[in-house]
Structures are given as C-alpha cells and as structure tokens.
Amino acid sequence: MGKKQNKMKPDLCIYILSFFPIFYEKEVKLFPLLDKKHSVDLYTALLLNHMEVLRSMNPLPSFFFCFDERDKEYLPEDLSMEKAIFYTSSGSNSIPGILIDKYFASHGTNLIICANTIGIHNKEIRKIFDTMNVDEEVIVIGRSNKERTAFVALNYDNPEIFEGIGWEKPNFDTLLSKACMFNNKINILDDYMLINSVDDFKYLYSQLSKKESLTYCSQAMHERFTNLFIEYKDILK
C-alpha cells in the first residue's frame, strides 16, 4: 500500500519527464518522417511550451525537467538554466524510481507530465493541486485522445502504482487498473495530446489552428510550431 504523505507539506512539485535522448546528436530519437534537426525542434518546442505554462503560474510551483543522462552536456540554452534531473535508462537511477526515492517525500503533491504532451494549462494544474489538497489519498490521471496517459498526480507515496508502466507510450487502461488496486480516490481528466506519430503531428496542427489553443500554447509558441508545420506541409495535407 501507499505511504500517507505528511499533510504539513501541501506544496506541489511538477516533473516534465522525457523518455529518451532528445539533444545528444548521436542518439536523438527521430520523430516519424522528420529529420534529426526538426525532430529536435519539435521536442524542444514541446518542452519550452511546458516551461512557459509553468512560469505563468502564480505562485510559481517547484518543477524539474527530467532528461536522459546522455543529454546532460547538450541541453539548449533555453533549458540549461532550469532545474534538471538526469537519469540512466536502467538500474537504480531510472525514472520514476529516482523521483520516488529522492523527491516525492519532500512534497505533498507530485505531478508527472510526459514531455511530449501538450494541452494542459496553468489554471488546470492549479485545479489539480486544489483537488488533491485534501486529507485523503488521491490520484489524478490525464488521458490523451488516444487512450494514453498524459500525466499522473498523487498526493501520497505509492511506488507500486508505477511498476510496469511503459513510460514512452504509457497506456491509460494499464495505469487505471493499477490505480484501482489501492484505496485511493481516482479522478480522470480528458482530451490531452501525446505527440508520438505522424497522425499526432497532424492532429496537433489542427488543434493549434483553434483559438482556444491559446490557453495552453502562447502566440510565441504557436510561431515555433508553425515553422515546423511549414517545413512539413506536404504531410499535413
């Protein structure tokens, strides 16, 4: 069973979790149909969008970007000054093990967001925190449009819930089944985007053309994504 958090620690900590090297040139994972440069541009845009959302929150929450250790010497300037956690792909320093072992106990609520997610905005994060700032064990799961897990938040320690979760493409039903094994309240939020495939890239293009996307993606970030869309306009037809 999970270990009850000390309710004297009501603060929120957010972790933006990347699952593979995205800046180390020799091992950058190519996004389908994108070349290496534009794959990095896409991953970077998604990361910077998360940063912008987090920095717009008031009060500013604690947050970390979690990177594969192979990216350590290659972070772009926009990210190099941020708090970063580096992990190895296997062993005792794997994610989320290192988060649970070294960070979770220091915070009342811990929110893990997949780095390739978009669609969550600052007011929604605050709402998640408010929902979990109660004297009962709560888990909140964000479900993507393709039945993937976009994010998960807990207000208590429960390392068992993460066992066997494939974090690169985390299946929503798998995590939900795990959550149902414990005596916790479960909240589900819908309609987020995980950008893993060409179809996801096309869907992102269609969603960012809508005015309401400005709630989670600023005009400046729209321009970053638009530059990518222009380069790959042929696959967006």
pLDDT digits (tens, 9 = 90+) for 111-129: 999 999 999 999 999 989 8
| pLDDT confidence bin for 81, thresholds 50/70/90 | low
Contact indicator for 170, 148 with CB cutoff of 8 Å: yes
pLDDT at residue 107, rounded to an integer = 86
pLDDT of 59 above 90: no
The label of the residue with tokens 């974090």 reads 167
Higher pLDDT: 158 or 46? It is 46
Picking from 141, 147, 149, 124, the residue whose alpha carbon sits closest to that of residue 189 is 141
pLDDT at residue 140, rounded to an integer = 94
Percent of all residues in the chain with a pLDDT value above 70, rounded to a whole number: 89
35-39, 130-134, 142-146 — most confident range: 35-39
| pLDDT confidence bin for 106, thresholds 50/70/90 | confident
* Structural domains of the chain in order of their starting residue, each with its CATH number: 12-231 (3.90.550.10)
Contact indicator for 47, 65 with CB cutoff of 8 Å: yes
pLDDT digits (tens, 9 = 90+) for 131-143: 888 889 999 999 9
Higher pLDDT: 29 or 163? It is 29
- As a whole number of angstroms, the distance between CA 35 and CA 126 comes to 37
Phi, psi of 164 (to 5 degrees): 80, 10
| pLDDT confidence bin for 89, thresholds 50/70/90 | low
Q: What is the 3-state secondary structure (H, E, C) of the chain?
A: CCECCCCCCCCEEEEEECCCCCCCHHHCCCCCCCCHHHHHHHHHHHHHHHHHHHHCCCCCCEEEEEEEHHHCCCCCHHHHCCCEEEECCCCCCCCCHHHHHHCHHHCCEEEEEECCEECCCHHHHHHHHHHHCCCCCEEEEEEECCCEEEEEEECCECHHHHCCCCCCCCEHHHHHHHHCCCCCEEEEEEEEEECCCHHHHHHHHHHHCCHHHHHCCCHHHHHHHHHHHHHCHHHHC
- As a whole number of angstroms, the distance between CA 17 and CA 66 comes to 5
pLDDT at residue 4, rounded to an integer = 45
The mean pLDDT value for 149-163 works out to 85
pLDDT of 43 above 80: yes
Instruction: Report the mean per-residue pLDDT for the chain.
Output: 86
